[in-house]
Amino acid sequence: MRVAVTGSHGLIGTALLEALTGDGHEVTSLVRGPAQGSHQVRWDPAAGTIDAAGLEGHDAVVHLAGVGIGDHRWSAEHKAAVLDSRVQGTSLLATTLAHLDRPPAVLASASAVGYYGDTGARAVTEVDGPGSGFLADVVRQWEDATTPAAEAGIRVARFRSGVVLTDRGGALDKQLLPFKMGLGGRVGTGEQYLSWISLDDEVSAIRHLLATPSMAGPVNLTAPNPVTNAEFTKALGAVLGRPTVMPVPRLALNTMFGKEMVAEMLLAGQRVLPAVLQASGFAFVDEEIEPALRRILGK
């Protein structure tokens, strides 16, 4: 199978390319610089340009590209970059694929559980509607941008990922140092839910989406057992053998990250269940948080 991938140098993209190549697939990366050979296709979402001819004849496309949401304080400029990078890039890609002479059979387009807003303790699945707030609005527009591909008859799967856990980087990697120093603790009340998935399961689930013709529309990529922040904190402390008795003060978080980002990303949460993925027969490697952390961290 020929698979084109955007965001191939990111955390998930790097692991996905390794897996697809290992499976024997031919992988093409979409890059913003000059293409280095036939295994790369140039595009520039901000400029609205893409080498459409280089995408002809691919069997599948995986779209992962987008500016990191939690990488910076939420200034007006950063929020605009987060939204534009997702909507512009997805719209450009979906429209281009829709007009190819030989379009792919499937577009697997990244999304996020932020779609659901703050769900509290209420469990949600793919049948639930969007929540409110900046993140929910971004994800809704992000997903809507895939419409041209779907209207052209391409199977579109919009995978709503939870927090991806790995020792290669990302959210977990940022927490390891303070936890190892005994400075880890719950955030706020600790009652907010964390919908998580290991990197291995994330990559396997994307490959499963590509290979399963019946899977289209929204698909939650989360482990079947979401946990509260307090439960995650306890599990990580147990795995690392360190105390987790010091809660992180909200004032300190607001000072570091800004009130809006703290309210939506750290003190709010989603209790998301992977109903569609489980119904399709997908088998998780990591279902419970503490065993998953032990495996990921080699403990």
pLDDT given at position 246:
81
Instruction: Say yes or no to pLDDT of 52 above 90.
Output: yes
**CATH number reported for the structural domain that contains residue 33 in this entry:** 3.40.50.720
pLDDT given at position 15:
97
pLDDT digit string (tens) for 182-200?
988 999 999 999 999 999 9
Strand partners, 197: 164
Closest CA to 66 of 114, 6, 17: 6
What range defines the domain where residue 154 resides?
Answer: 2-296
Count of structural domains within the chain? 1
Q: DSSP readout, 262-293?
A: IIIIIS---EE--HHHHHTT---S--SHHHHH
Largest CA-CA distance found in the chain, in angstroms, rounded: 60
- Under the banding of pLDDT at 50, 70 and 90, the label for residue 138 is very high
pLDDT given at position 74:
83
- % of the chain exceeding 90 in pLDDT: 80
Strand partners, 248: 187
Q: For 247, which DSSP code?
A: P
Q: For 51, which DSSP code?
A: -
- Under the banding of pLDDT at 50, 70 and 90, the label for residue 51 is very high
pLDDT digit string (tens) for 263-295?
887 889 999 999 999 999 999 999 999 999 999
